[in-house]
Amino acid sequence: MAGERRWRESNRNHDNASKLAWAKRNPDKVQAMNRAWIARPAVAARNRVRNRVRMAVWRTDNVEAAREQDRQWRRRARQADPAGVSRRQRDNYLRWRAKDPEKARDVMNAAARRRRARRAGVPSEPWTTREICERDGWICQLCGDPIDPATPWLDALSGTADHIQPLAAGGPDLKTNLQAAHLACNAAKGDRWEDPGAPKVAC
pLDDT tens-digit series, residues 5-20: 666 666 666 667 777 8
Q: Are residues 105 and 172 in the same domain?
A: yes
Percent of the chain whose predicted confidence (pLDDT) is above 90: 25
Question: CB–CB of 129/105 below 8 Å?
Answer: yes
pLDDT band at 175 (very low <50, low <70, confident <90, very high): very high
Rounding to the nearest 10 degrees, give the CA dihedral for residues 59, 65, 71, 73: -70
Query: What angle (nearest 5°) sits at the alpha carbon of residue 185, between those of residues 180 and 190?
Result: 100
Q: Which residue has the higher pLDDT, 67 or 41?
A: 67
Domain assignment present for residue 78? The answer is yes
pLDDT digits (tens, 9 = 90+) for 22-51: 888 888 888 888 777 777 777 777 777 888
Domain assignment present for residue 196? The answer is no
Nearest to 100 by CA among 153, 149, 137: 153
Residues contacting residue 158 through CB under 8 Å, at least 6 positions apart:
147, 151, 152, 182, 183
Q: Are residues 10 and 90 in the same domain?
A: yes
Q: Are residues 9 and 89 in the same domain?
A: yes
Q: Are residues 127 and 70 in the same domain?
A: no
Asked whether the predicted pLDDT for residue 199 surpasses 90, the reply is: no
Domain assignment present for residue 197? The answer is no
Q: Are residues 60 and 105 in the same domain?
A: no
* Helix, strand, or coil (residue 76): helix
Residue span of the structural domain in which 156 resides: 101-189
Is the pTM higher than 0.85? no
